């Protein structure tokens, strides 16, 4: 039996101020499971992380958490997952998530989300992996980041071919459609 197609989802351990963020996380989790894709995520039971995991689990999906041991008490490690990996540090978490996943998707988040997605993009740019990266730009959350990346291209500090490594969608179902096309 072939290995399942798995998607690393980077997102906040907070819920945010707009209910659309939690809705997008839940919708993505359900849609991943519905498409037969496994979820690899940060392992927390709270915030957007908890919402995406709970929705995927409720829809019968495989959910793998990867959590640095130091964050287990703070982010409240999810206890109902298909599998949980504990790592010694954040760098090991990021590497393990990329190792386990066939694609990366970012929902709204803060420094950690940006760090994880930017490292995945940097590794793709360097040829360390060839997995697609997608941002779900809920409510235009990432508009300023995307403008910054376009500015980096304009100033010759980011090659256009590398800017194109990041695919942007407005809604979770568009991310699933994009990934299904790539895996077909």
Note the pLDDT tens digit of each residue in 55-76: 999 999 999 999 998 877 766 8
> How would residue 4 be classed by pLDDT, with cut points 50, 70 and 90?
confident
Of the candidate CATH numbers 3.30.300.180, 3.40.50.450, 3.90.1170.20, 3.20.20.70, the domain formed by 6-183 belongs to: 3.40.50.450
- Structural domain spans, the chain: 6-183
| CB 77 within 8 Å of CB 67 | yes
Beta strands in the chain (DSSP E): 6-10, 38-41, 63-68, 83-87, 103-106, 133-136, 166-169
| CB 107 within 8 Å of CB 113 | yes
Angle at 144 between CA 160 and CA 67, to 5 degrees: 90
pLDDT at residue 1, rounded to an integer: 46
Residue 108 exposed, middle or buried by CB count within 10 Å (0-12, 13-18, 19+):
buried
pLDDT top residue among 184 and 11: 11
pLDDT at residue 25, rounded to an integer: 98
Is 149 strand, coil or helix? helix
> How would residue 2 be classed by pLDDT, with cut points 50, 70 and 90?
low
Mean pLDDT of 19-29: 98
CB neighbours (10 Å) of residue 161? 9
Note the pLDDT tens digit of each residue in 70-116: 877 766 889 999 999 999 999 999 999 999 999 999 999 999 999 99
Close Cβ partners of 123 (under 8 Å, ≥ 6 residues apart): 98, 129
| pTM for the model | 0.96
Note the pLDDT tens digit of each residue in 140-176: 999 999 999 999 999 999 999 999 999 999 999 999 9
């Amino acid at each position: 039996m072939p290995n399942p197609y798995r998607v690393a989802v980077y997102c906040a351990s907070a819920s945010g101020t707009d209910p659309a963020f939690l809705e997008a996380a839940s919708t993505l989790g359900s849609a991943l499971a519905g498409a037969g894709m496994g979820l690899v995520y940060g392992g927390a039971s709270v915030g957007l992380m908890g919402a995406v995991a709970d929705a995927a689990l409720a829809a019968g999906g495989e959910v793998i958490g990867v959590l640095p041991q130091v964050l287990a008490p703070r982010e409240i490690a999810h206890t109902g997952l298909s599998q949980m990996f504990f790592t010694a540090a954040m760098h090991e978490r990021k590497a393990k998530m990329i190792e386990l996943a066939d694609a990366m998707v970012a929902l709204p988040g803060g420094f950690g989300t940006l760090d994880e997605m930017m490292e995945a993009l940097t590794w793709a740019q360097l040829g360390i992996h060839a997995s697609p990266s997608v941002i779900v730009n809920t409510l235009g959350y990432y508009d300023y980041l995307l403008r910054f990346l376009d500015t980096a291209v304009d100033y010759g500090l980011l090659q256009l071919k590398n800017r194109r490594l990041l695919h942007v969608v407005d809604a979770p179902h568009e991310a699933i459609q994009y990934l299904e096309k790539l895996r077909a």
